[in-house]
Amino acid sequence: MNREELRQLLERLNLRGNHVVVQTSLASLGPIEGGPASLCETLIEAVGPSGTLMMPTFTQTETIRESVPNRNPGAAISHRPIPYHADLPVSPDVGIVAEMFRHMAGVLRSNHPTHSFAAWGRQAREVLSTQRDNNPLGPLKKLNVMQGQVLLLGAPLQAATVIHLAEERASLPYLGRRTALRINAGGYEERVVVENFPGCSVAFDRLDAYLDPNKVHRALLPHGEARKIAVRYLVNLASQVLVNEPRFFICDNPVCVGCASKRAAVGNIPAMQGQG
């Protein structure tokens, strides 16, 4: 896709003036003239000066002190954590688009050791300032208040980090605590306790079956589709589902150590049918 084709695609999604959190699958877009930088620049143009553009720039794989589960049941990989600092690259699974975005002129990045966000726009500083060590999803909560949007450029619903807000709203017992490292303002390494730590999101894709097509703004991509969904709608929908089934977002992968611990934490919490 060239720059003009990208512009036309984003125009079909009506992003002007929107407050948007973006997750991207580059494979769905195919080759882009100018690469990820061109995509980031076009997204900034699309929301315009009255909008806000935000992307996750998470680093939990690098900064968490505890052992990280691997693919073998019951096994873990121990590693020496890297203290978070403003120029620490995003975790590889977050993607090259977010890594490019954080370098763009005018983009700010929050200081959370595991769940930092990068944002551009007139209200970027205000959005990022809501984040605390015990409130990693603060910028997404602010976006919800601002009637923001989730933009999935070919990415599946499991990439929609805002769905974790529904888990937190439901006070599910599997939202845990982790310890990470960060370089503080004095230049020294500090230990940070992160509360309400969001975990596996693979099962978020189950929510696809519940989406109202009239609530999703779609545009075709060369190898997939783009979807714009209101944050408030998505979080409310996920919250309603969790009322009926607290285990809904626990994945079925038998080697997912995180979801195994979630399953144990939920235990015998009863479903509350009809209270949505």
Mean pLDDT within 256-263: 86
Mean pLDDT within 111-130: 97
> Does residue 275 have a pLDDT over 70?
no
Give the pLDDT band of residue 261 (cuts 50, 70, 90). confident
- Paired strand residues for 189: 183
What whole-number percentage of the chain has pLDDT above 70? 91
pLDDT of 43: 98
Give the pLDDT band of residue 101 (cuts 50, 70, 90). very high
Give residues with Cβ within 8 angstroms of 172, minimum separation 6: 242, 246, 265, 266
* Residues 57 and 94 sit within 8 Å (Cβ to Cβ): yes
pLDDT of 176: 81
pLDDT of 133: 93
Paired tokens of 268: 């015998």
Give the pLDDT band of residue 68 (cuts 50, 70, 90). very low
Mean pLDDT within 219-229: 96
Each residue's pLDDT tens digit, 26-58: 999 999 999 999 999 999 999 999 999 999 999
Give the pLDDT band of residue 265 (cuts 50, 70, 90). confident
> Does residue 120 have a pLDDT over 60?
yes
- Least Cα distance to 210 among 228, 235, 237 occurs for 237
Mean pLDDT within 213-237: 97
Paired tokens of 195: 């509360």
* Residues 229 and 149 sit within 8 Å (Cβ to Cβ): yes
Give the pLDDT band of residue 102 (cuts 50, 70, 90). very high
Question: Three-state SS for 265?
Answer: helix
> Does residue 213 have a pLDDT over 90?
yes
> Does residue 273 have a pLDDT over 60?
no
Compute the residue count for the chain.
276
Kindly state the greatest CA–CA separation across the chain. 54
Give the pLDDT band of residue 172 (cuts 50, 70, 90). confident
pLDDT of 271: 57
> Does residue 276 have a pLDDT over 60?
no
Give the pLDDT band of residue 241 (cuts 50, 70, 90). very high
